[in-house]
Amino acid sequence: SQQGEEDPQALSIQEGENATMNCSYKTSINNLQWYRQNSGRGLVHLILIRSNEREKHSGRLRVTLDTSKKSSSLLITASRAADTASYFCSHTFLNRDDKIIFGKGTRLHILP
Amino acid sequence: GAGVSQSPSNKVTEKGKDVELRCDPISGHTALYWYRQSLGQGLEFLIYFQGNSAPDKSGLPSDRFSAERTGGSVSTLTIQRTQQEDSAVYLCASTEGVGGYSPLHFGNGTRLTVT
C-alpha cells in the first residue's frame, strides 16, 4: 500500500500538555500536509510543508519533516479541549502533484 | 463564501440498489477529489478530476463504482448494485490549483448505509 501511517493511533493527554503525532510514508514526496477532522465533519487543512523544508510553524502547531527517514511530526503545544479531533497527514508523490494520499490518522483526546 | 457541499448528508439504501452521491465544489476550483472513509479509519482515495477529466481512477474499488464531473463543477459518484461493504462516509474535496500544493477543502460527507 502507498498509504502513509500515523502513530500513535490514539492519544489521550491532559489539557495544557503538548501532543506529538507522527507520520511515516513509503515513497519520495513533493510535500506533506496535515489535516484535522472533528467528529462527523470533513477535514480541515492545518499546514503544508514542502520536501525542501525541515520545520514549519503555525500558531501552536509545529511540523517537522525528515525526508531521509520518510517521516513527519505534528506538535500541538499547550493543548486545549477544542484540539480533540483526528489528525491526518497527506502527501503527493514525487512527479505526481495530483494524487493525494492520506494516512490512517491519530485520534487525539484532550482530557479536561 | 460557500464551501464544498455534499448531498445527501445521509443515505440508507437496500443491498442491490444504485445510489448517486453529489458534490458541489467551491466555485472556480479546478480539481475535485473523492475519498471513502470507513468507521474510525483513514481516507481511501477513490478518484480525482482535473476539470472534467479523471486522470486517475485507480482507487475505484470495483466496476460498480463510477464518477463523472460536468462543466468543471458538480460531480456525482455512482455506486451500482450496492453491497454492505460499501457502507462508509464518502468525502469530496476541491482545490483551486494542483492538489498537492493547495489545501483541499472538504465537504462534510455523505454517510452511506447499505442494509
Distance CA A67, CA B114 (A): 41
Does residue A51 belong to the interface with chain B, where contact is any CB pair within 8 Å? Answer: no
Q: What is the pLDDT of residue B3?
A: 94
Q: What is the pLDDT of residue A97?
A: 63
Q: What is the pLDDT of residue B99?
A: 58
Q: What is the pLDDT of residue B19?
A: 98
pLDDT tens readout for residues B9-54: 999 999 999 999 999 999 999 999 999 999 878 899 999 998 999 8
- Indicate whether A3 pLDDT > 80: no
Grid coordinates representing B1 are: 463564501
Contact yes or no for A1/A98 (Cβ under 8 A): no
B58 Cβ neighbours under 8 A, 6+ residues apart: none
Taking contacts as CB-CB distances below 8 angstroms, the residues of chain B near A101 are 45
- Indicate whether A2 pLDDT > 60: no
Task: Give the mean pLDDT of A47-72.
Answer: 95
End-to-end CA distance of chain B: 37
pLDDT band per the 50, 70, 90 thresholds, residue B76: very high
Grid cell 495544557 in the structure block, residue? A16
Mutate which of B24, B33, B104, B110 to disrupt the A interface (most A C-beta within 10 Å)?
Answer: B104
Residues comprising chain A, all counted: 112
CATH fold for domain B5-97:
Immunoglobulin-like (2.60.40)
Domains of chain A in sequence order: 5-111 (2.60.40.10)
Grid cell 517537522 in the structure block, residue? A64
pLDDT band per the 50, 70, 90 thresholds, residue A4: low
